[in-house]
Structure 1
Amino acid sequence: MHLPLRAITVFHAAARAGTLARAAQELGVTPSAVSQQIAALEMHLGTTLMVRSGRRAMLTEAGERYFAMIAENLDRVADATQAIRGSLSSRSLTVRVTPTLATKWLLPRLGRFLDAHADIDLRVDATNEPTDFAREAVDVDIRHGEGNWPGLFVEGLAEERFLPVCAPSLCPPGSLAPGDLPRHRLIHSVKSQMQWPRWFGLAEVPGPASWRRVLFDRSHMAIDAAAAGIGIALESELMMERELREGLLACPVRRPPVATRVTQWLVCPHDRLRRSQVGAFLGWLRAERDLWQARRND
């Protein structure tokens, strides 16, 4: 009897992920490809397994029963495959990192790590989704958050200073007092841990009664928007290092308040620290962090 193994695997991933988009990301395919595979499996079985509800994919009663019957066995196959793959690729290293840190800070430096460790087979996944280390083959997660993940090794990457920034053509450096900012369009990074109301509080300035604003769900978009002259963003010096160094962004505020936070964390299970490539990567990251801090403080 022919078994549609690919379609079964895709259904298993979608049922576990809860959305077709997340399943597609995990499998490295498009959401439409996931949908097509599930439809093929439903035709093979002669029943409906999933229905859409907003962004989520909801299991039908038949889908729940089918998933319950196949999940444990497929998880065992995945674990066995990963165990064999790990034994054959002992120099592999998979790092998960937030998209903004990946593009703005990690990627410009990554060549130095690769040149120094040519024997390491590196994979970088850029996503804000936290790693489920029990199920995913990820060695290190550079995670955005508060740093409270019990049971895991957790180390702050760096203390970041948050500054109002814009293109110098919009407002020259040091040309504004904190109370002048509400007259301008303010760019908001909606997932940032440093928001405009808190910054105004540190500056002892009342927040605006109404906002001229634009909102982005990724800090790298907010940084690029500020550099394009769209408005004034509140961002971390860590993330906008290149733009500040090259003069694409500057702080328009005279004597801005000190606003600092640790928002990026090195996270992994304690047993991953015994892997030599994990130790090499973390050591390299700390050295790059120290160089960045030294340049910032010059």
Structure 2
Amino acid sequence: MRAPLPPLVSVQAFEAAARHESFAAAAEELHVSPATISQRVRSLETHLGVPLFERLPRTVRLTELGRAYLPAVRESLDDLAVATTGLFGPARREQLTVRTQVSYAATWLAPHVGDFQDRHPEIDLRVVCAVWSEALDPGDVDVDIHQGRGPWAGVHSEVLHQDHALAIRGPGDRPVESVADLAARHRVQVLGFDDLWPRLLPADAPRPSRALTVDTSLAALEIVAAGDACAVIPERFARTAVRAGRVALALDGAWPARQAHYLLRPHSEPRPSPQARAFLAWLAELDERVPSL
């Protein structure tokens, strides 16, 4: 007759805590609280009748019996994982749904998102925007990125990116010699950014010879790249196109925009999921890694 076995969750908590030398890090990995890890480890110690860890102020250290027990635990968990995968297939991948505007998805995420997928192959990323995003239940969205002037009623909002604006022209256009010269060029205006041109140009600036209004910065960017118009769009959206030579800077420098990118969360969900935290950490690193123009 087999001796009574300890609960599997307690064994998993012990192995993770031993590997990280931390109840907090084990809790992060197993998606539970540090208090739960502590409780499960103590339950295992009670079952075995011996202490497995020394509790230190900021870490934990295996006792001599804990070190002796760990190799057998790891081997057993590895064997169980191999058998489970062999019979039932790999564990279900985690899905992360990011809702954002089409311009952010196309100009900022698209050129770099492969790096996130390489770093987190266990996460299936889904990016939704425009008409599809409104059909999603709030509970189906893990990361909700919104550009505008916050805060918004009914949700918790925090600034994700402070935005700047800059003026762009077609790569084949003659250089812009002055602000007055820019004012007279064919102009593309983006809905929702109605303040950008007036803040750039003096009140007595001449009217453009031709003006076009579009609803996304992405549309403005493509029109400028294909023709002889100028546009003012968020600097973040122009970085890849300027560096690739698809558009050129009409004026040197950028200036703060009144709009910013915000991370929105329901008040009922104050903390992002582990997958969402991984994505947000990657976005923060991307900001550091990809310099502004």
Pairwise TM-score range, normalised by the shorter structure: 0.5 to 0.7
Q: Are residues 231 and 111 of structure 1, via their aligned partners in 2, closer, same or farther at CA, if it must alter by over 3 Å?
A: same
1:72-105: CA deviation from partner (whole Å, max 9, x where unpaired): xxxxxxxxxxxxxxxx968221110100000011
**What pairs up with 1:1-298 in 2 under 5 angstroms?**
91-127=94-130, 135-150=138-153, 152-172=155-175, 175-192=176-193, 194-200=195-201, 204-209=202-207, 212-253=210-251, 258-269=255-266, 271=269, 273-292=271-290, 295-296=291-292
1:162-200: CA deviation from partner (whole Å, max 9, x where unpaired): 11210132122xx42111223211111123264312322
Contact kept, 8 Å, 1:98 with 1:128, in 2: the verdict is no
- For residue 234 of structure 1, report the CA deviation from its aligned partner: 0.8
* Greater Cα offset, 262-271 or 123-132: 123-132
SS in 2 for 1:273: coil
CA distance in 2, matches of 1:128, 1:191: 17
Q: Are residues 144 and 130 of structure 1, via their aligned partners in 2, closer, same or farther at CA, if it must alter by over 3 Å?
A: farther
Gaps of 5+ in 1: 1-87
1:138-180: CA deviation from partner (whole Å, max 9, x where unpaired): 11111121121245342223222211210132122xx421112
Q: Which residue of 1 aligns with 2:47?
A: none
Q: Report the AA paired with residue 222 of structure 1.
A: A
- For residue 129 of structure 1, report the CA deviation from its aligned partner: 8.2
Q: Which structure is larger by alpha-carbon Rg, 1 or 2? A: 2
SS in 2 for 1:159: strand
- For residue 130 of structure 1, report the CA deviation from its aligned partner: 7.3
Contact kept, 8 Å, 1:166 with 1:249, in 2: the verdict is yes
Aligned residue pairs total 202
How much is the aligned-residue C-alpha RMSD, in angstroms?
A: 2.8
1:50-81: CA deviation from partner (whole Å, max 9, x where unpaired): xxxxxxxxxxxxxxxxxxxxxxxxxxxxxxxx
- For residue 256 of structure 1, report the CA deviation from its aligned partner: 6.1
User: Among the aligned pairs, what percent are the same residue?
Assistant: 29
CA distance in 2, matches of 1:197, 1:207: 9
Q: Which residue of 2 aligns with 1:84?
A: none
SS in 2 for 1:238: helix
- For residue 259 of structure 1, report the CA deviation from its aligned partner: 4.1
- For residue 291 of structure 1, report the CA deviation from its aligned partner: 1.8
Structure 1 runs of 4+ with >6 Å offset: 128-134
Contact kept, 8 Å, 2:145 with 2:261, in 1: the verdict is yes
Gaps of 5+ in 2: 1-90
Q: Which residue of 1 aligns with 2:87?
A: none
TM-score normalised to the size of structure 1? 0.60
Q: Report the AA paired with residue 255 of structure 2.
A: V
Q: Which residue of 2 aligns with 1:50?
A: none
Contact kept, 8 Å, 2:186 with 2:208, in 1: the verdict is no
Q: Are residues 160 and 181 of structure 1, via their aligned partners in 2, closer, same or farther at CA, if it must alter by over 3 Å?
A: same
Query: Which structure features the higher share of strand residues?
Result: 2
Q: Report the AA paired with residue 182 of structure 1.
A: A
Q: Which residue of 2 aligns with 1:3?
A: none
CA distance in 2, matches of 1:161, 1:267: 20
